[in-house]
A and B are shown apart, each in its own frame.
Chain A
């Protein structure tokens, strides 16, 4: 199985940039696409898709969110962070079954 590793927590000041990383133990690229996706989950809510295929903004997601990376190293950037961005962020790979998720990075806004 592909293992995704995320840092557990991050604290960023309001209006600054947050960078959340996700590293995989296997390459998730295939025929020019990186099969890495990012989700945001607020307490009591279901996860929401933010970024798909590493760098594509999902529908309705503000441009403050962006994603980049390839191979085994990926990042989600929020710039500038707003108070409402307090949440846990998960990466997920769909290169191979079983689909797997990172353990999540909890973002605190200072």
Chain B
């Protein structure tokens, strides 16, 4: 059974940082292309970042509006993907999901990030 479990969300003040983790099981992580997607309080879904597998040199793509603030990474030995978020803004408040490959057949339950003073 495919499982993705996101952790690391919480309440953070604007300008601060947070690192999200996504632990996975049930599929061959090392060959999966992993993504982070968020859903805003208004229910809008927004793709944020993708990291490809080793055979593609772990190529990374970002949504332009988070480039330079967010960093996606992976640890194949732990079947985990991460999202480092710096200089957080109130508009980053959302539920953050990790997914693999495309289309996004499997989603975790999400982790809530609230950016507020």
Contacts and interface: CB of A to CB of B under 8 A. Distances in A.
Interface in A55-71: 58-59
Nearest to B65: A98
B97 to A, nearest CB: 6
Interface residues of A, number: 21
A49 B102 contact: no
Contact of A46 (B35, B43, B97, B102): B97
Interface string A78-110: 000000000010101010011111011000000
A31 to B, nearest CB: 16
B24 to A, nearest CB: 14
Contacts, number: 47
B34 to A, nearest CB: 13
Given A46-B107, A92-B103, A94-B102, 20 more contacts: A37-B103, A46-B108, A48-B107, A53-B103, A58-B103, A58-B105, A59-B105, A88-B43, A90-B45, A92-B45, A97-B61, A98-B47, A98-B61, A98-B63, A99-B47, A99-B50, A99-B102, A101-B45, A101-B47, A103-B44
B105 A49 contact: yes
Interface size of B as a range: 10 to 19
B109 A46 contact: yes
Contact of A47 (B35, B64, B107): B107
A88 B50 CA distance: 25
Interface string B34-72: 010000000111110010000000000101100000000
Interface of A: 37, 39, 46-49, 52-53, 58-59, 88, 90, 92, 94, 97-101, 103-104
